[in-house]
Amino acid sequence: MPEEDDVSRRLFLGSAVAASALLAGCSGGGGTETASPTGTPSDTETETPTETATATEEPTPEPATVENFPYPDGATRDGIDPTELFSAHRTAIIDGGSATVGIEMTADRGDFTTSTELENSYGAAGVLRVESSDGLTERLWSPADEDVGYVEMDTGFEQRYRIDNRAPGPQELLYLSQTDRLLAGGQWSEAIEVVEHPSGEGVVYETTGIESEQQLLRAFPGEAVSSFTASVTVTESGYLHDLTFEITVDRGDQTLQQQATITTESVGTTNLSAPSWTSSARENGVQFDVGVTDGSDAVELDLVNGSIPSGSRVNLSSTQFGSATLGQSLSTDDTLYASFSSDNEVVLGVNEPPSGATELGEFVFVDVQDGQFTLLEQEIRP
């Protein structure tokens, strides 16, 4: 995990002003004193005018423009270097020790559209992911000293819990890989304008075309990229305050259109602590140990914490895809088996493998659903 923020040091300088007094001396003469007929004093004091200090006004800072903006590494008035700018972005976030990344995303696959909002944060205490979609909010908390992720699933009326054996790291939470590929995939304009954001000012660039279709397809798999537009706001510190993009990818006879805005904020000032529901997730969260049988003919799910209600759905994908309904409830220490029959139907077994199971392929994906709640979601390599 990233280290704590470095402690900033400041040096205050003091100055002293010395003052001196001007003393006037008197001189005396000998002989007989003669009275002055006019009575005028022999010594006359002369007052010295006191100078009044005039406060010097500080000059008004010149507004930031694309000509005088303090560009970070990888950005100039003439454009950006994607590789160098991504390095500056990543370094600024990691060196800051903490950050929060917000993602608003819409995906249109032709037959259906999904909208998702995420707020991902990392800091010295751990990582927190909050995802909202289709009336369900899922919150994942992973302490810095543990490898698992504690998850609360909340509809607003009901809460369920699970424990993920693998928690996402900062690289995934902060959307770093996708940001790298999106920067490398575009051709970028010169600096367009300077705008304000909550942490200061940033300079804006926009895409003028596609530089690397391969990089974009690494971010969004498919056969070809039909269109891609994006804009970024680069801060003085080097991180991208926001990255907005729209991409269309062809996948066989389907087309994926995706729009998103990724906002990076609170770099170095994000403070995290364990949510109040963490103890409930530890106690009641559904957790499986996942593997395959010795003959690789069934997925083996050992329930080590929590319970699974009857009627839950088990979805299995390997050389084919299918699902089946669990006919009984499961409690801690029960084992659930899932496989395909010779008729390509999903078959289940509790505490023993199902009869008629066939060998699984090289890649297996399994998930267990209780209504809206995802109790398990995992890839397996037999």
| pTM summary value | 0.79
Which band of pLDDT confidence, cut at 50, 70 and 90, is reported for residue 38?
very low
CATH annotation of 75-265: 2.50.20
In this predicted structure, the answer to whether residue 146 has a pLDDT above a threshold of 90 is yes
Q: Does pLDDT of 365 surpass 80?
A: yes
- Give the separation between CA 306 and CA 317, rounded to whole angstroms: 24
Please provide the size of the chain in residues: 382
What confidence tens digit (pLDDT) does each residue in 174-202 have? 999 999 999 999 999 999 999 999 889 99
Mean pLDDT in residue range 352-358: 92
Q: Span 133-156, mean pLDDT?
A: 95
Lowest-pLDDT range of 3-12, 313-322, 356-365: 3-12
Residue 52, pLDDT score = 53
Predicted local distance difference test score (pLDDT) of residue 68: 95
**pLDDT value at position 47?**
52
- In degrees and rounded to multiples of 5, residue 369 shows phi and psi of -120, 135
Q: What is the tens place of the pLDDT at every residue in 49-103?
A: 555 555 566 667 778 899 999 999 999 999 999 999 999 999 999 999 999 999 9
Q: How far apart are CA 75 and CA 310, in angstroms?
A: 57
pLDDT of residue 55: 58
d(CA 313, CA 366): 11
Q: What is the pLDDT of residues 257-288, one digit of tens each?
A: 999 999 999 999 999 999 999 999 999 999 99
pLDDT one-digit tens code per residue, 107-117: 998 788 999 99
Residue with tokens 């001396």: 25
The first and second tokens of residue 374, run together, are: 């995802």
Question: What token pair was written down for 381?
Answer: 């390599």
Domain ranges of the chain: 75-265, 286-380
Query: What CATH class has 286-380?
Result: mainly beta
